[in-house]
């Protein structure tokens, strides 16, 4: 699996009511990340919660799911 | 193409019915629609069924002839349509198209889902099968999570607020409380809606539609034969189905449903009407944000104005453009395969003047919007007094 690099949070949520497969993971943050280059990937955000516009960096794949970590908080205009 | 009319409607109550099986619900709705259209099962020339996940929810496959034969319809084409939550909307689109084309005269269209026999995490998993299993679902997306991400983006781009979302739930519960067939007939306050248990931020349990059992059916015929069946025919002025990508991360802009816009444009054109002509609508409020986006995509309000319009009461029973006078999926219930045809029944009921204390005065032109998944299928039906 290749490194997805970094990207920006396009949208996100924190899931409390999980599907059967993830009952032990809740609450977890799910996000659509717009990668550098424009492609969007749905993955998880580990650690500190991220908001729309925050920068995130790819951490690893776990069971084919991309995990990201927040790096920079979006600049408020 | 021949004009088509709805001449019979039939619905079961929506709710949690541990003692009812899938077939008995569908048979009840089908028989009610035949009775309502003064027709006999032997007259039916084709049976169209909408069902999302009967095989997963209850294990039964080959559902269309399983149900039609129990209604007494035998020897004719009986086919199941699956398009996630737009399954029976899709069945209706194909049935109406076949009657319009002259393939059949008398057609029964039904929708059914039996969901409450499974625990919520299992239901959540089955419903997630309408998303992209290799991408978003594997990452942990549920349908509430997908619509929560849509809501977050809509809030970010247009300033939509939690109160605006909650106002949709409060309004739909007000309407549903007056609907004898609704699943949750209770009024809720804005405070309750805002303080609901979180499901997927920013959505609480009050932003989500219900897990329900239920069925609905309609009998359709060419308009020229409608008077043989009823003195209150309702004309299908326009009906269109369109599609889009399944995965949310493949859509350029998730604050709008492209398929809803394209199907609405086609249906408006077919009916020869504009968005501003539509007097009332049943829209697919699987989540509160979905109703806000629906009224924008249908052209009832400008983009981004769905939230303020809802909070200001524009969609209330006595508002400028009543939406979901039935209580919507939020209060009436959402047995997913029954929802599309159920909405058509609700619009027909208003046009016939049979909606009881929810009856509208401006009731001659209504629209039903049925959405599949996070927007990969959309069916729009425009109905009018014949």
Rounded to whole angstroms, the Cα distance separating B17 from B110 reads: 19
Nearest to A42 among B122, B136, B199 (CB): B136
Domain membership of residue A28 as a residue range:
20-72
Count up the domains in chain A and report the number: 1
Q: What is residue A1's predicted lDDT score, i.e. its pLDDT? A: 56
Q: What is residue B122's predicted lDDT score, i.e. its pLDDT? A: 92
What SS3 class is residue B238? Answer: strand
- On whether residue A24 sits in a domain, the answer given is yes
Residues of B annotated as part of the active site: 85, 334
Q: What is residue B320's predicted lDDT score, i.e. its pLDDT? A: 98
Question: Inter-chain contact B124–A44, Cβ cutoff 8 Å?
Answer: no
- On whether residue A4 sits in a domain, the answer given is no
Please tell me which residue of chain A has the smallest CA distance to B150.
A11
Going by pLDDT thresholds of 50, 70 and 90, the confidence category of residue A39 is very high
Write the Ramachandran bin of B339: left for phi over 0, alpha for psi from -120 to 50, otherwise beta: alpha
Torsion angle, alpha carbons of B147, B153, B158, B164, to 10:
40
Question: Which helix (H) or strand (E) segment is A34 a member of?
Answer: strand A28-35
| C-alpha of B223 from chain center | 24
- On whether residue A8 sits in a domain, the answer given is no
- On whether residue A10 sits in a domain, the answer given is no
Rounded to whole angstroms, the Cα distance separating A23 from A46 reads: 17
Enter the ipTM: 0.96
Report how many Cβ contacts below 8 Å link chain A to chain B.
Answer: 93
* A70 reaches B (C-beta below 8 A): no
- On whether residue A35 sits in a domain, the answer given is yes
Q: Where are the beta strands (DSSP E) in B135-224?
A: 198-200, 203-204, 213-222
CA distances (Å), origin B345, targets A9, B98, B242, B328: 42, 20, 21, 12
* A47 reaches B (C-beta below 8 A): no
Going by pLDDT thresholds of 50, 70 and 90, the confidence category of residue A76 is low
Please name the residues in contact with B22: beta carbons below 8 A apart, sequence gap of 6 or more. Answer: B54, B57, B58, B60, B63, B112, B113, B114
- On whether residue A26 sits in a domain, the answer given is yes
Q: Is 3.40.47.10 the CATH classification of the domain at B4-118+212-233?
A: yes
Going by pLDDT thresholds of 50, 70 and 90, the confidence category of residue A77 is low
Rounded to whole angstroms, the Cα distance separating A69 from A49 reads: 9
**DSSP string across A40-75:** EEEEEEESS---TT-EEEEEEEETTEEEEEEEEPPP
Please tell me which residue of chain B has the smallest CA distance to A20.
B121
Please name the residues in contact with B321: beta carbons below 8 A apart, sequence gap of 6 or more. Answer: B278, B279, B280, B281, B295, B300, B314, B315
Mean pLDDT in order along chain B per 10 residues (386 residues): 97 98 98 98 98 96 98 98 98 98 98 96 93 96 97 98 98 98 97 97 97 98 98 98 98 98 98 98 98 98 98 98 98 98 98 98 98 98 95
Instruction: Produce one character per residue of B147-166: b if its CB has 16 or more CB atoms within 10 Å, e if not.
Output: bbbbbbbbbeebebebebbb
Rounded to whole angstroms, the Cα distance separating A26 from A17 reads: 7
- On whether residue A43 sits in a domain, the answer given is yes
CATH H-level, domain B120-209+235-385: superfamily: Thiolase/Chalcone synthase (3.40.47.10)
Could you tell me which residue, A61 or A73, shows the higher pLDDT? A61
pTM of the model: 0.97
Work out the mean pLDDT of chain A and round it to a whole number.
94
Q: CATH 3.40.47.10 in chain B, residues?
A: 4-118+212-233, 120-209+235-385
Rounded to whole angstroms, the Cα distance separating B135 from B82 reads: 21
Name the token pair of B122: 């299992």
Mean per-residue pLDDT, A40-66: 97
> How far away is chain B from the Cα of A73, in angstroms, using its nearest Cα?
15
pLDDT at A73 over 90: no
Residues of chain A found within 8 Å of residue B144, distances taken between Cβ atoms: 15, 17
């Amino acid at each position: 699996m290749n490194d997805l690099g970094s990207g920006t949070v396009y949208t996100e949520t924190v899931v409390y009511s999980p599907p059967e497969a993830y009952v032990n993971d809740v609450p977890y943050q799910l996000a659509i990340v717009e990668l550098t280059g424009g492609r969007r990937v749905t993955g998880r955000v580990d650690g500190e919660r991220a908001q729309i516009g925050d920068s995130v960096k790819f951490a690893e794949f776990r069971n084919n799911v991309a995990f990201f970590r927040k790096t920079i908080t979006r600049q408020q205009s | 193409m021949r004009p088509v009319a709805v001449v019979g409607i039939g619905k079961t109550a929506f709710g949690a019915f541990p003692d009812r099986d899938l077939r008995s619900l569908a048979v009840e709705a089908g028989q009610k629609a035949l009775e309502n259209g003064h027709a006999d099962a032997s007259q039916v020339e084709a049976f169209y069924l909408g069902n999302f996940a009967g095989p997963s929810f209850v294990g039964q496959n080959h559902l269309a002839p399983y149900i039609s034969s129990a209604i007494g319809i035998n020897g004719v084409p009986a086919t199941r349509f699956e398009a996630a939550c737009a399954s029976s909307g899709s069945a209706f689109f194909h049935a109406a198209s076949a009657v319009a084309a002259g393939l059949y005269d008398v057609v029964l269209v039904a929708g059914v889902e039996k969901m409450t026999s499974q625990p919520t995490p299992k239901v959540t998993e089955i419903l997630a099968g309408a998303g992209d299993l290799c991408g978003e679902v594997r990452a942990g997306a549920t349908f509430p999570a997908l619509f929560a991400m849509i809501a977050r983006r809509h809030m970010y781009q247009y300033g939509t607020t939690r109160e605006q979302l909650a106002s949709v739930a409060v309004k739909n519960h007000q309407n549903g409380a007056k609907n004898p067939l609704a699943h949750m007939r209770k009024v809720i306050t804005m405070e309750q809606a805002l303080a609901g248990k979180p499901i997927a931020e920013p959505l609480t349990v009050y932003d989500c539609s219900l897990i329900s059992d239920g069925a609905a059916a309609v009998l359709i015929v060419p308009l020229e034969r409608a008077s043989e069946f009823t003195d209150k025919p309702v004309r299908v002025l326009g009906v269109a189905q369109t599609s889009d990508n399944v995965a949310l991360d493949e859509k350029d802009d998730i604050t709008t449903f492209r398929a809803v816009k394209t199907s609405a444009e086609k249906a408006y054109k077919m009916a020869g009407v504009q968005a501003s002509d539509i007097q009332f609508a049943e829209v697919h409020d699987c989540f509160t944000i979905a109703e806000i986006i629906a009224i924008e995509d249908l052209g009832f309000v400008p983009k981004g104005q769905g939230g303020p319009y809802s909070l200001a009461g524009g969609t209330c029973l006595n508002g400028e453009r009543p939406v979901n006078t039935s209580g919507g999926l939020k209060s009436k219930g959402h047995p997913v395969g029954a929802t599309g045809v159920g909405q058509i029944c609700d619009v027909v009921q208003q046009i016939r003047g049979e909606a009881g204390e929810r009856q509208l005065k401006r009731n001659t032109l209504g629209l039903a919007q049925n959405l599949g998944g996070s927007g990969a299928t959309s069916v729009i039906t425009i109905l009018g007094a014949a």
